[in-house]
Amino acid sequence: MNIIFCSTLLVSFLTNIVWPRTIRAMDDQPDPYNWLFYTFECPQECFCPPSFPNALYCDNKALKEIPAIPARIWYLYLQNNLIETITEKTFVNATQLKWINLNNNKITTDGIEKGVFNNLKSLLYLFLEDNYLEEVPAPLPTSLEQLRLARNKISTIPEGVFNNLENLTMLDLHQNKLLDSTLSSNTFQGLSSLIQLNVAQNSLTKMPPILPANVMQLFLDSNSIQAIPEHYFDAMVKLVSLRLNNNKLTDGGLQIKVFNISSLLDLQLSYNELTIIPAISIHLEHLHLDNNRINSLSGTQMCPIPIPGDYAYERNLPQLRYLRLDGNGIKPPVPLDLMLCFRLLQALVI
Ligand SMILES: *[C@@H]1O[C@H](CO)[C@@H](O)[C@H](O)[C@H]1NC(C)=O
Ligand SMILES: *[C@@H]1O[C@H](CO)[C@@H](O)[C@H](O)[C@H]1NC(C)=O
Ligand SMILES: *[C@@H]1O[C@H](CO)[C@@H](O)[C@H](O)[C@H]1NC(C)=O
């Protein structure tokens, strides 16, 4: 009984998070008598579910070209095909599109005709992961909320392409070929709603010049970043999760206080070259410092406040729950002052 109860909860949780628009779409279209009309207008390569007339499923069909998309379509699934090009006529009638999933195809930058996405004034999600793009497609509709471009070969971001995307909340560029020179100080300017930026697995040696102030999740893992400028995170007052695993950070490349960010809950610095534990805020809950070069551990030094005396009377205890320090050559036992500082610690890996 318990298990069934839990999974129902989980499903409704996921449904609310991931599919809110889909559900609304079905509510908005109580039009069963149009079944024949909708079926008639279905490209023969694709599947048009009668109960969901705004969706068009053309995924996993070995398609080399995109069929003509009927005007009624909001949700377009074209993932896992062999599509190489997107031409101007592709979306000419489909101006109501909200979602386009073109993940895992063979689309190149030259294969995208200039301005194909420009007329899609309602487009919210554009997924082009696992293609052969060398540039971020431009121009993009200003309505976009999610742009997923992971696992392409992107090394160029056209000037100003993100500047008017005021509603973009998620930009995923991980596993591409971004260089320091790809990013200029106004590349991400204008992304005033951006919550998640993922530029992991690229070829950056520096932090991006300027990031939008509202970012909450910043993923920079597996680059070759050596240093972080002083005050880099000062304007990012909503930053919750910062991942810099697998870089080349050294003590000399950063100020010890640079990660003392009071909004931060999750800080990941595994596989770097640090010998000193950076200062953390009292609010931090997860800290990954495994596989660095730290060989001594002092709770007194690491504690963000003077070591709390009487637990019962201490209101602002350090919130750290999870601490990884393995792969550093730190020898047990765990110092007593560490345990006295981090009273809420649930897991410590040495
Ligand atoms: C667009 O709609 C017009 C009018 O219904 C139709 O003649 C034309 O073939 C459509 N074009 C595409 C590419 O679907
Ligand atoms: C951004 O979202 C708001 C609220 O949903 C909407 O009113 C506005 O038109 C959107 N902006 C663009 C450029 O689409
Ligand atoms: C970290 O920041 C807090 C609050 O902003 C401050 O009180 C504290 O002294 C800082 N810690 C270090 C080591 O700078």
CB under 8 Å to 215, separation ≥6 — which residues?
194, 195, 196, 197, 236, 238, 239
Residue whose Cα lies nearest atom 5 of ligand 2: it is 167
How far is the C-alpha of 46 from the C-alpha of 75, rounded, in Å?
A: 13
Q: Is any ligand 2 atom within 6 A of the Cβ of residue 143?
A: yes
254, 256, 281: residue to mutate for ligand 3 pocket, most atoms within 8 A of CB: 281
Q: Tell me the whole-structure pTM to 2 decimals.
A: 0.88
95, 167, 168, 195: residue to mutate for ligand 2 pocket, most atoms within 8 A of CB: 167
CA of 328 relative to ligand 3 center, distance in Å: 26
User: 114-156 pLDDT, tens per residue?
Assistant: 989 988 999 999 999 999 999 999 999 999 999 999 999 999 9
How far is the C-alpha of 296 from the C-alpha of 276, rounded, in Å?
A: 8
Ligand 3, residue 257: give the atom nearest the CA: 14
| Cα–Cα distances in angstroms (integers) from residue 130 to residues 65, 103, 154, 198, 326, in the given order | 17, 6, 11, 15, 34
Percent of the chain scoring above 90 in pLDDT:
80
- Contact indicator for 225, 244 with CB cutoff of 8 Å: yes
Beta bridge partners of 288: 268, 324
User: 263-288 pLDDT, tens per residue?
Assistant: 999 999 999 999 999 999 999 999 99
State the pLDDT at residue 26: 45
Pull the structure tokens for residue 290.
Answer: 């495994």
How far is the C-alpha of 349 from the C-alpha of 335, rounded, in Å?
A: 13
Q: Is any ligand 3 atom within 6 A of the Cβ of residue 284?
A: no
Mean pLDDT of 252-268: 97
